[in-house]
Amino acid sequence: MYSEYLRHRGFSVLMAADGSQAIQVAVTARPDVIVMDLAMPNMSGVTATQWLKRHPRTRNIPVVILTGYPYKAIEEGALEAGAAMLLTKPCLPEDLEGHVRSLLERPAGPS
């Protein structure tokens, strides 16, 4: 639902089936913002975020973690892992868009 909404609003959206594929896509494509679910097959969003924040090609890309389990995300250290923000589902698509746009307006970190 979120990807279709963002496409409709003019964003280019890349998808990944699990955390490992999300890392591969991010390293290859170097998107401006990453929106990632906390609970994914193969690797959690927190683990994937930790990996992305250690990789030189992706360390400065802001990551938004979406979750239906905010306490689990906090417990697993989503923000400490380097996520720019944590959004709780259900999250209105308009709210996600607003957060993504605000991240895009931030000055870019070093590449």
| Confidence (pTM) | 0.89
- Quote the longest CA-to-CA distance of the chain: 34
- pLDDT in single tens digits along all 111 residues of the chain: 999 999 999 999 999 999 999 999 999 999 999 999 999 999 999 999 999 999 999 999 999 999 998 888 787 888 999 999 999 999 999 999 999 999 999 876 555
Decide if 84 is inside a domain: yes
Is residue 66 within 8 A of residue 74, CB to CB? The reply is no
Decide if 108 is inside a domain: no
Decide if 111 is inside a domain: no
Decide if 109 is inside a domain: no
Decide if 94 is inside a domain: yes
Domain with residue 95: its CATH number is 3.40.50.2300
d(CA 71, CA 39): 13
- Domain tally, the chain: 1
Contacts of 43 (CB under 8 A, 6+ apart): 18, 19, 20, 22, 23, 51
